[in-house]
Homo-oligomer: A and B are copies of this chain.
Amino acid sequence: MTIKKIKDYLQEYSYLKSIQSLLHWDMETMMPPGAIEDRAARLSYIQGKIHSHITSKEYKNLIKELESKKLKPLEKKLAKELRWDFDLYEVLPEKHVKELSHAQTIATHAWATARKNDDWKSFSPHLQKLIDLKRKEAALYKSKKPYDALIKLHDKEFSSDEINKLFGDLKAGLLELTDKVKKDKTFVKVKDLKGPFDIKAQKKLSQYAAALCGLPKEYSRLDISTHPFSINISPLDQRITTRYVTENLDSLSSTMHEVGHALYEHNLPREWEGTPFQEAVSLSVHESQSRFWENVIGRSREFCTFLHPTMKEHFPKAMKGISPEELYHVFNKSVPGLIRVESCELYYNLHIIIRYEIEEMIFNQGMNSKDIPEIWNQKYKEYLGIKPKNFAQGLLQDSHWAGGAFGYFPTYTLGNLISGSLYHQMKKDLPGFKKDIEKGKFTKIGQYLKDNIHVKGRSVTARDLVGELDVKDYLSYLSAKFKD
């Protein structure tokens, strides 16, 4: 009965979130540019509504009512997750939440312009404002270290100490592995496919790949945006974006990445609408899904074999004389580059570790916006041996900070680690899965991820799903791949 009341109450929350998502999606894909201030006001308004709805006295009393009862294990878990969210939101004054939302919208807009004009100076004050707001927020949470508070917004099962340990081990393993790969040259001396790549053909390929991976056209759409993203408008309305340039085929991997996110959201249990059980268990596990489809599947030898004829059909000129094995090497060419989203699997996590370390310096050590460029360049030199020539190739490449999403980046690498565990688990549970990939059959793989992860929502912990994380599974997956 109390649960029924809570579900009824949270249905409105799900409607408001849905509206917020549509306002966002539209802003990034469709909105005329002159409407940005109008939109910022509406987003801030909705953010305020959401906040007041889920911090109300009425709702607090409902949670207390639930907590006071004798509960079955699943109900107990629900109460725990409701309480977690409530405490998280209650701490923040509505004024702060609305101010942050407004600053995020305006800064994201400023970032897009700054990136286009390679103009760090115009963006730096916006970033500083977001840093200040997020510091204020972290202080309100009173966690051991300020950065931990922001990490917990994206993955509540991790602290910066734990991540430091994991990322430290990973960095050591990666630097060792990249050295070997550099010497071996199999994945370095790869001739690239020659563009230009027709945009229409890329669109068709992305649409094809999305359907192939199991994203139903009836319940989704694929558009274009500056920075690819995935957003849940409602369970039956998943929207993903990619971007097309004639110079490369990154649109394919970015589409498969976003499909991984969209499938998770689409499969969350609809009977728990508006409750934590209809949410992903963590952003890290969310990223494990996108990285699984993008890399473990999309950059596998089996997938390259399967996709080879389709690639020849769409890009006959570029694919002339390219064998499936050569396509596999093209898709996995491993040289250090400056752009995170264009990175091969081998170097990707170094991009993340750099961002993570910088965020830690900002929030745990007091670094400010103006000092980021120097540190950024220094770390790229140290870990990847290269330095950006401009800001667009440097710290203006990502939109996350402009959106105030500090603590988000580490979940990409945590997601990669989880995808490594999943890979090993799937080898045991679905012994034929590599053959399925080679045949372009993804039903069983999709069902496996749905049953074992998606439909569980937050009714379990990430550790329940994928065990204790260590870097061995993932490093062994990478080693096997790049030393084969």
Measured CB to CB, the residues of A under 8 A from B are 12, 15, 18-19, 22-23, 26, 30-35, 37-39, 41-42, 45-46, 216-221, 233-238
4 nearest CB pairs, A to B: A35-B237, A38-B234, A34-B218, A34-B219
Chain B contacts for A41, CB-based, 8 A:
15
Q: Once the chains are docked, how many angstroms separate the CA of A241 from the CA of B235?
A: 27
Please classify the interface of chain A as helix (H, G, I), strand (E, B), loop, or mixed, using the class held by over half of its residues.
helix
The closest CB in chain B to the CB of A41 belongs to B15
Complex partner residue of A219 from B35, B219, B221, B238, CB under 8 angstroms: B35
Taking the nearest CB of chain B, how far is it from the CB of A38, in angstroms?
4
Q: Which residue of B lies closest to A19 (CB)?
A: B19
B-chain residues with CB within 8 Å of residue A32 when the two chains form the complex: 217-221, 236-238
Total identical chains: 2
- Assembled-state Cα–Cα distance A30/B236 (Å): 14
Q: Are A19 and B23 in contact (CB under 8 A)?
A: yes
A202 to chain B, nearest CB (A): 19
Asked if A218 and B33 make an inter-chain contact with CB atoms under 8 angstroms apart, the answer reads: yes
Question: Given A22-B22, A38-B237, A42-B234, does the pair A30, B33 have CB atoms closer than 8 Å?
Answer: no
Residues of B contacting A218 in the complex (Cβ-Cβ under 8 angstroms)? 32-34
- Which of chain B's residues has its CB closest to A36's CB? B236
Beyond A15-B45, A35-B237, A38-B237, 10 additional contacts (C-beta under 8 Å) are A15-B41, A31-B233, A34-B216, A34-B218, A35-B233, A35-B234, A35-B236, A37-B236, A39-B237, A42-B234
Q: Within the complex, which residue of B22, B219, B238 is in contact with A23, where a contact is CB–CB below 8 Å?
A: B22
Pairwise interchain contact B12-A45, C-beta atoms closer than 8 A:
yes
Q: Choose among A18, A217, A235 the residue with the greatest number of B CB atoms under 10 Å from its CB.
A: A18
Say whether, besides A31-B237, A35-B234, A236-B34, A42 and B23 are in contact (CB < 8 Å): no
With CB as the reference atom, state the residue of chain B lying closest to A18.
B42
10 A-B pairs within 8 Å (CB atoms) are namely: A15-B41, A18-B42, A30-B221, A31-B237, A32-B219, A34-B219, A34-B236, A35-B234, A38-B235, A39-B234
Q: How far is the CB of A24 from chain B (nearest CB, A)?
A: 11
Q: Tell me the minimal C-beta distance from A172 to chain B in angstroms.
A: 45
Task: Contact check, A26 vs B22: say whether CB atoms are below 8 A apart.
Answer: yes
A33 to B219, CA, bound (A): 7
Nearest neighbor of A44 in chain B, beta-carbon distance: B15
A221-B32, A236-B34 given; A42·B26 CB < 8 A: no
